[in-house]
Structure 1
Amino acid sequence: MYPKQEKNLKAELQIIEKLIVEEKLEEAENKCLELQKEQPNDPIIAHALGLIYYMRQKYDDAIAKFRITIAQITNNPNFYNNLAEALRRKGEFKEALDCFHGALLVQPAFLKAHLGIANTLIDLKRYQDARARFEFMIKLDPSFAPAYHYLGVMLTTLEATKEAIPILRKAVALKKDYYEAKFSLANALEQDSQTKEALQIYYELLKEKPNDASVHNNCGNILRTLGRLEEAEEHVRKAIQSNPEHVSAYYNRSAKHFAQEVTPQQLQRLEELILDPTISDEDRSNLHFTLARYYDAQKDYQTAFNHYKQGNDIDSRKEPYNHETQTKVFSIFKSFFTKEFFATHPHFGSSSETPVFIFGMPRSGTTLVEQILSSHPQVYGAGELKYISQIIQTLAGQFSNQAGYPACLNLLNPINSCSVGESYVNKVRDLVPGDKENILRITDKMPGNFTNLGLISLLLPHAKLIHCRRNPMDSCFSCFTQHFTQVIVYTRQLEDLGNYYQLYEDLMAHWHNVLPIPILDVSYENMVENTEEMTRKIIDFVGLEWDDACLNFHETERKVKTASLEQVRKPIYTSSVGKWRRYETFLEPLKQALGEYAPLPESLF
């Protein structure tokens, strides 16, 4: 190549680089293809095309171009790194790791390659190894903000938000304009229920990038939990306008608005996206649930059910439900927590009357009961807390050399059991904003705590226990139609739901028989039919004076993060009672698995 041609090529490549940075990918690609006619084997042009294809998620094409580059240029770690990232995105993790290590052979302290290795280890769920790699990077360069950022993202994914948040703050402090780290910090704060600060950060990001679909979508999520539904809808609309293929935004639209406003073109595009091999299973599952809700609103129950089923079938976020294992676990609880156990453990636990536990099957009315209670001026609704599960993990770890859970509870005594119970009370009290003295009751509505009532009765013997019940078919089918943010493994197959429901009924019968503290059963159907009577019964059960605000629960301003968040912003309605009947034709597997809890032919529900 003559010097003038080389100079022209360099100038053209600089223009292409600028276009790529500005995400003007079509223009950049056209320029590359023109240059390639003159220089068909040029490795830098191939690399530029690889970047363009990578950004379009055309990973096979990107990999092919990057391979051309490193075949000719073997001393640039960036080229190995970019090939490795494309392989990683395609799911070729072993070869990706080899390429990242290839970059390190060229430059051992090349931080981007170390970062790529750490992220690939996360993909492989080798979290301890990934953490060690992040910590190694920070030792190499304590000012390397991406190491803090991606470590924080990993911890957020693992639900260790308390640890993640200060690490993400460090990433932002090291690099003030680190947009992605700010987004990740807001996401962690949102998960940690620090919604005010999270929303503030999202609003600041929108000033910088007004059309960021992900930020609009997350704003919508927070505003929905706060009951600001119209504002939430507006943000989700903007997310879709900014990126018509932002799958989560479609899912997060209210079923009513989506059904009313979706265009035939959008609907067709969503149907096409389901077949797109480049989207993730998570997005594909979201699409199925989105379309299921649309067809449900159109009363096309056959098509809706098909989408619900396919959405559940491809949800691989966790291992399948194992009924045999679950049966053994519940059997252990029943054998351990007996009347004799409680009789031989008097005076254990905290004397606090503050905690109120609301539990049952998911979609059984727990959110409704908590919303009613939290409308009382002396009650704070804390939502679905994981504190009891964390106590179990702590105790199991503390006594791991002597006994597992629940056998390790035999190693507790009145003093340390009181300390553990008080630690729970202190944690939930810390959640209360403002004047804590006026709050006499704090609710924890983690539905799955029905499995932990033995421990709760031991550590918090003065707690109030409210068991939410609902027609088995409605409860189970409602679970089947939800794409839960936190995976509930037994909700993805109708047979699993029926089998689990039988275990749940059996365990609840056991608790009613052996626990030394009372349980109030609240029927969802009774709540709908006799709202004031049941509400007064609940308020009396938790030991508070009546307050009329409890009947206007839909007006209460508080954060609700569960699948029922829109329903509790409305007055009581009956449309969810017997909803399973619309899909009865498809629910024979559920009926069979429910056994004695399946509806009789003449059942009204």
Structure 2
Amino acid sequence: AGREEAAWRADLAGVAAAARDPELIEAALAMTDGKLDEAATRLEARLAREPHDPPATRLLGETRWRQGEMTPALALVEQAVEQAPGFDMAREFLIRLLMQTNRLPEALAHADVLVRSPVRIPGHLLIRASVLVRLGEQEEARGLYEQLLADQPGQPQVWQNLGHVLKTLGRQAEAITAYREAVTRQPTLGEAWWSLANLKTVKLGEADIAAMNQALATLAGAADERTEDIFHLHFSLGKAHEDAGNHAAAFRHYSEGNRLRRTQLRYDADDFAAEISATVAGFSAPFLASLGEGGCPARDPIFVVGLPRSGSTLVEQILASHSQIEGTMELPDMMMIGSRLQTRVNEGEFADYAALLASLSADDRRRLGEEYLDRTRVHRKTDRPLFIDKMPNNWQHVGLIRAILPGATIIDARRHPMGCCFSGWKQHFARGQAFSYDLADAGRYYRDYVRLMAHFDAVMPGRVHRVIYEQMVADTENQVRRLLAHVGVDFEAACLAFWKTDRAVRTASSEQVRQPIFTDGVDHWKNFAQWLGPLEAALGDVVESYPDVPGSLRSGTN
């Protein structure tokens, strides 16, 4: 242990010396100024002279990452850590890259090394906790956050993180306390206010509204640096005014929060529509017929797809209450496989997506299916034979799922277009839903979703089972029986008492699925109907063609 610590400290001393190296300083400044090619050229020249240079290697890795070259970035940062195992800064960055590529077990292994560093930094425990959260080990992460707060209770960000874990575990009263601790210590911490407002059991009162307005006034002079706090506060004020029945004020704050968030995102509805058209063309009826039974035949995965706020968490919780089905979380792995394939088209290797698909042999498709199962295995904590992947955006990859995992089950959770899109618009998502911050974008996205799912209904009828949210809440037992029959498992009464199932739920609907089905929020969008013209116009006839549901939900904004 003594030799290991001595070597570790030697590595750290070498890194500290490199921080004063003029050549590395110039390269680092070029990188932070966005002159990435210049930074890379400087660093490559240095490494050609001095191949064993961990700080230069790590810096080149970060430069490659900023250039969007993840594979070489990972290789370089891994090399820097191998050259200097005590180079904590490199290991921290490596963990970040591993998490971005969903290589979570490796990230945890490096986090375990990091917390043994002779330089004791609380941030190392925070890094380990973040990896544990991603792995679904919520209780262990909770212990780390509580340990940090016992030592230093005045940390608003850690209180916020603890609140997130407690909410996921269903410990709502304790989550509220944690979020309150966070905003008491830092009243301008917008995400903590939003996390508090987003708890369905919380109604923010007049004192909270005054505190958030004061926080906005405090941040007014630092709008550029604190945009994230500001838009979180606007979403929070929207929810507070909505709860108070002041819908005009609520809509104003929701609108401002969405406007600010939209400025941070790249999303083009025309480009997305073109992608969906390419998917329709690629997964033609003749192509699907040519697949046969090739691919990985495993029946394990149950994909619950659809738009956010469509009732997919309810479907997941019902299924996860069955003795043969394990609930996991929203897994990014199918989207990562799909993105990797699309990159080959974007880089010119194939003329279009259809050409890429045609190039995949049966063995290629089998390997891709096995890759998905290998990547997701870390999230399976029980011996139940089936598991749920509730990444809603996987609706874009229904054809890919059919091609590489022909035995998988696909469930499409669908909700009334006005209610679904409006609910998504007033919900701030941590990541991945760039379409949701503009009402017209949201309406067009819903239309593209309906268009693609209708295509798959036509070319592979019966393969996708649709759950209509309003029908589920109105006729629960019959809908649950149909759902389980499609999955191929026997009916179990526990699926009707889904709120009694004790499991971590990491979505915005985590609280609703811990109580019996209720109908209060089904047509809540009608309180805001007078302002939703852009959404209704973008949806067009999709509203009127929505499946038959209880009469009060059938019409548009009338």
Give the TM-score taking structure 1 as reference length: 0.75
Change (3 A) 1:263 1:120: farther
Query: What does residue 548 of structure 1 align with?
Result: 493
Alignment of 1:359-378 (within 5 A): 359-378=305-324
* Partner Cα distance (2:254, 2:101) in 1: 27
Change (3 A) 1:301 1:158: farther
Contact 1:357 1:463 (8 Å CA) reproduced: yes
Change (3 A) 1:462 1:468: same
Change (3 A) 1:481 1:223: same
* Partner Cα distance (2:120, 2:136) in 1: 25
Change (3 A) 1:449 1:136: closer
Which residue, out of 186, 198, 205, partners 2:141?
Answer: 198
Query: What does residue 127 of structure 2 align with?
Result: 184
* Partner Cα distance (2:177, 2:84) in 1: 43
- Using CA pairs below 8 Å that are at least 6 residues apart, which structure has the higher relative contact order? 2
Q: Does 1:149 align with 2:89?
A: no
Percent identity between matched residues is 31
Q: Secondary structure at the match of 2:115?
A: helix
Q: RMSD of the TM alignment (CA)?
A: 3.8
Amino acid of the structure 1 residue aligned with 2:317: Q
Query: What does residue 217 of structure 1 align with?
Result: 160
Contact 1:378 1:440 (8 Å CA) reproduced: yes
Query: What does residue 183 of structure 2 align with?
Result: 240
Query: What does residue 71 of structure 1 align with?
Result: none
Q: Does 1:470 align with 2:415?
A: yes
* Partner Cα distance (1:197, 1:255) in 2: 26
Contact 1:591 1:599 (8 Å CA) reproduced: no
Q: Does 1:487 align with 2:432?
A: yes
Which residue, out of 367, 383, 392, partners 1:447?
Answer: 392
Query: What does residue 361 of structure 2 align with?
Result: 413
Which residue, out of 283, 303, 312, partners 1:337?
Answer: 283
Amino acid of the structure 1 residue aligned with 2:433: I
The number of residues matched between the two structures is: 515
Residues 529-587 of structure 1: CA deviation (Å, up to 9, x unaligned): 11111111111221111111111111111111112112111211111111111111111
Alignment of 1:198-597 (within 5 A): 198-253=141-196, 254-260=199-205, 262-263=207-208, 265-277=210-222, 279-315=225-261, 319-395=265-341, 401=349, 405-434=353-382, 436=383, 439-515=384-460, 517-597=462-542
Change (3 A) 1:401 1:264: closer
Q: Secondary structure at the match of 1:558?
A: coil
Change (3 A) 1:415 1:251: same
Q: Secondary structure at the match of 1:554?
A: helix
Q: Secondary structure at the match of 1:502?
A: helix
Contact 2:188 2:229 (8 Å CA) reproduced: no
Amino acid of the structure 1 residue aligned with 2:242: D
Give the deviation of 1:267 after TM superposition.
Answer: 3.4
* Partner Cα distance (2:77, 2:556) in 1: 59
Change (3 A) 1:421 1:177: same
Contact 1:380 1:441 (8 Å CA) reproduced: yes
Alignment of 1:98-117 (within 5 A): none
* Partner Cα distance (2:494, 2:334) in 1: 30
Amino acid of the structure 1 residue aligned with 2:367: S
* Partner Cα distance (2:381, 2:58) in 1: 39
Contact 1:255 1:297 (8 Å CA) reproduced: no
Amino acid of the structure 2 residue aligned with 1:408: L
Which moved further from structure 2: 237-246 or 422-431? Answer: 422-431
Residues 115-170 of structure 1: CA deviation (Å, up to 9, x unaligned): 99988997897878987986787588542323322443455467654554333333
Amino acid of the structure 2 residue aligned with 1:482: Q
Unaligned runs of 5+ in 1: 1-76, 102-107
Contact 2:157 2:182 (8 Å CA) reproduced: yes
* Partner Cα distance (1:157, 1:425) in 2: 18
Amino acid of the structure 1 residue aligned with 2:487: V
Amino acid of the structure 2 residue aligned with 1:333: T
* Partner Cα distance (1:339, 1:545) in 2: 32
* Partner Cα distance (2:250, 2:120) in 1: 44
Q: Secondary structure at the match of 1:315?
A: helix
Change (3 A) 1:354 1:149: closer
Give the deviation of 1:243 after TM superposition.
Answer: 2.7
* Partner Cα distance (2:72, 2:300) in 1: 42
* Partner Cα distance (1:218, 1:577) in 2: 31
